[in-house]
Structure 1
Amino acid sequence: MRPRRPLDPRRQRLKLLALIAIFALPLMTAWAMVEWRIGIPEQRTAHGELVPDIPPLAQWPLTDRDSEADADTWLLAFDCSLDCAALADQWWRLHRALGREAPRLARLRIGGAGEALPGERLARWQGQAPAWQTPGRVWLLAPGGEALLTYSSEVEARDVLDDINHLLRVNPESRSQRERQVSQR
């Protein structure tokens, strides 16, 4: 049997420094990124445009007052004056793509002909449409009826779905008092 060599203190220190570096370098890198704003995006951008100047849904000149917003439901309102059947189908498919989050969103079709698709409400503009409305425009409204985002008629449904998923994720569902009582039993 060979005699054991004594441990080299320099080699042991080098191993210790390498171990410390493995854990410290990511922390120091993250600190430098935050401190000097290197490699960090300046902002998170939604695919739609923010619309602070559009009035709440209750003030929209609509013929159907059944279109009022629920307290817990997000609303996807869309102008259906151009190619209505295709638009209604596109937004119905987007609604289905939400999966288990679908009950948290309702759709409001403004204008157009034909029957309402499942989960869709129908309304029409009273007289002349407001100045902020353009054909094919889509609005995403928060619970309570405040307009958050608007999209042009050329928007990709995938982009709208990304924004809706993000909003539903950062705004968890509030359960009603009755649901809480049932779940506690």
Structure 2
Amino acid sequence: MTDARIVRSRLKLLALFAVFALPMAMAWGMVEWRLGIPDERTAHGELHPDLPRLADWPLSRVAKDGADDWLMAFDCTNDCAASADRWWRVHRALGRDAHRVSRLRIGEGGGKTLPGEAIATWHEMPTWREPGTLWILDPDGRPVLSYGEGVAASNVLEDIERLLKLNPERPLARLHDE
């Protein structure tokens, strides 16, 4: 064998090692030195890990359409009909994923109940409650995000769509509910 062929064979072997070793070295560097990992938030809502689960909220009764449903719970203080309509429109904008989300109106509010909406009332006002807040709760009843009164509906819709995409529906979930 000539020296040129040996050098070429060794270069090919080194290139093959590099193809497999470089991604691992880059991943290790990203983990160790936090290089290339975004620090910015992607959700529009506020995270509140200290909020209690839905079962521990001082509410009269809570009903969801399905056991695996996410829940949009909103505290209705002023202009209940308008905020109920606003969140109903966000719910409808989910399209084919709308069956994965239930809505809960908290407060008296008057007016008619919109389709797919349940109503509950506070037994006592919790200290963490802020009037006009919308909470997104996971299927286990843990609060994931909360939004203040002036949030844009498009931001809420975007966050819910992202949550539903990152948490896909079980393959036979629809049949299980029926």
2:125 matches 1:129:
yes
Structure 2 match to 1:24: none
**Structure 1 residue aligned with 2:136, among 122, 133, 140?**
140
The residue identity in structure 2 corresponding to 1:105 is V
Alignment RMSD? 2.7
Aligned partner of residue 67 in structure 1, secondary structure: coil
**Structure 1 residue aligned with 2:168, among 169, 172, 183?**
172
**Alignment partners' CA distance in 2, 1:149 and 1:119:** 21
**Structure 2 residue aligned with 1:81, among 61, 77, 80?**
77
How far the C-alpha of 1:168 sits from its partner, in A, is 0.3
2:63 matches 1:62:
no
**Structure 1 residue aligned with 2:45, among 40, 43, 48?**
48
2:68 matches 1:72:
yes
**Structure 1 segments (4+ residues) deviating >3 Å:** 34-38, 68-71, 175-180
**Structure 1 residue aligned with 2:152, among 145, 149, 156?**
156
**Alignment partners' CA distance in 2, 1:42 and 1:160:** 21
Structure 2 match to 1:5: none
When residues 70 and 41 of structure 1 are mapped into structure 2, their CA distance, relative to the original with a 3 A threshold, is same
**Alignment partners' CA distance in 2, 1:157 and 1:143:** 21
Aligned partner of residue 72 in structure 2, secondary structure: strand
**Structure index of larger Rg:** 1
Asked whether the equivalents of residues 69 and 144 of structure 1 are also in contact (C-alpha less than 8 Å), the reply is no
The residue identity in structure 2 corresponding to 1:57 is L
Unaligned runs of 5+ in 2: 1-25
The residue identity in structure 1 corresponding to 2:38 is P
Q: Residues 6-44 of structure 1: CA distance to partner in whole angstroms, max 9, x if unpaired?
A: xxxxxxxxxxxxxxxxxxxxxxxxx7xx68946x63234
Structure 2 match to 1:105: 101
Q: TM-score, normalised by structure 1?
A: 0.72
Q: Residues 92-135 of structure 1: CA distance to partner in whole angstroms, max 9, x if unpaired?
A: 00000000000000000001112210010000001x31111111
The residue identity in structure 1 corresponding to 2:58 is P
Identity %: 54
Aligned partner of residue 166 in structure 1, secondary structure: helix
Unaligned runs of 5+ in 1: 1-30, 181-185
**Alignment partners' CA distance in 1, 2:94 and 2:164:** 10
The residue identity in structure 1 corresponding to 2:94 is L
**Alignment partners' CA distance in 2, 1:146 and 1:70:** 16
The residue identity in structure 1 corresponding to 2:169 is E
